[in-house]
Amino acid sequence: MAVEGLDSINFNHVLNSIEFSLEPPSRAEIAKQVGLSRTAVSYIVQKLIAMELVMEQEKENDGKPGRPGTPLVLNPNVWHSIGASFYSCEWCFVSVNLLGAIQSTYCLQVKDNSQQEILGALLEGLKYMKANSQPKLLPAFGVGAPGLVDARKGTIERADDLGWNNTILLSDLIRKSTGLDSFILNRYCANGIEEIEKKQYTKRFENIVYLGMGTAMAGTVFLGGKFVENTKYRLGHIVIDPNGERCHCGQEGCLQTMVCEQAWIRKAEALGLQGIRSGQDISQLAENGNELARRCIQEIAKPLSMGLAIIVNVLNPDLIILGGPLGSSSQYLLDTVRELMKSRILDYQYEHITMVKGDAGKYSSAVGAALLPLKQKYELLNKAQ
């Protein structure tokens, strides 16, 4: 292994020890945790302090003999990360500190679903955030993009709900426009990362599937507690009905076509629900006991439970999170899906799985995108030096 690569691993081990320890660790405690000498840890810590990623806390005498070690924590007041995410004709932008706390926000509406309009608004917003963010910016953006994303290439391969079927070199566009690199992933994947990281689900569950539902559908997968970074998996395009409605992707009967927002609205209208403008309207009515709204959600829950049963048999998740603007909007949907799952998977599988409703705040997906540069903070700053 190259020395430079080994250095990066050691620096990240020390950073992770500082970031994820229950109590702020001293240099000696870090050395024990990561298996490095105290001299090596002290050298790394001093460099991290010089980079303003880490800072020392006041020493506290715990009553034990000898001098207490100096606690180390992330420095939340210097570096920050910018994230962006698109949903429902709007880009949301956030600036977060090293702890992931939001420092500032900005939103831009788009007029239509054309690539020129949506990508133009993204570039405009990123340049605005870059110009107005203080004090220091990590030299890369995180972007929660619509559609099927190749995270390694930084491309949108297609966005079926927007009618896009060509490859967009998004990272290249951002670099040419702003001068900065970017980490690109699907917007619902970004939402899942924010949800899972914020609630520290990986400390309790080994295999996690987050399924985000809105105008489209995508997911986030954690296996063995680690994010599966190949974001080209297509959970929304599991075929449920081979004779079903044709999806924009070219297949018939994709899960996405059967549970996306347009499917909710079509079913609601067919049942005679009046004044429905969004899936959230249906969810609210169902939560309030409206029988027609509940029948609508029951129809949505049938194919959704079938898709989740396939995911369970393939990935064996311990935790399933229904999220995104629709999945997080209805406890009735979650309860109905969970009940239908009983007849679609084995008893021991059903008993093993925890299912929860996600939290989809306005800026959740943008925060999830901003976490991507944070995970690479040492590499980004070391490269920029």
Work out the mean pLDDT of the chain and round it to a whole number: 90
Report pLDDT for 248. Answer: 82
pLDDT, tens only, 312-347: 999 999 999 999 999 999 999 999 999 999 999 999
CA 142 – CA 94 distance, rounded (Å)? 10
CA 358 – CA 219 distance, rounded (Å)? 12
CA 365 – CA 193 distance, rounded (Å)? 8
Report pLDDT for 247. Answer: 86
Q: Which of 102, 165, 93 has the alpha carbon at shortest distance from 129?
A: 93
Element (H, E) at 97: strand 90-97
Complete domains list, the chain, with CATH? 3-74 (1.10.10.10), 79-191+364-384 (3.30.420.40), 199-357 (3.30.420.40)
pLDDT, tens only, 177-208: 999 999 999 999 999 999 998 898 998 999 99
CA 27 – CA 38 distance, rounded (Å)? 7
pLDDT, tens only, 51-85: 999 999 877 655 554 456 799 999 998 999 999 99
CA 56 – CA 273 distance, rounded (Å)? 60
**Confidence category of residue 228, pLDDT binned at 50, 70, 90:** confident
The one-letter amino acid code at 264 reads W
Taking a C-beta distance cutoff of 8 angstroms, is the pair 86, 144 a contact? Answer: yes
Residue 298 has pLDDT above 80, yes or no: yes
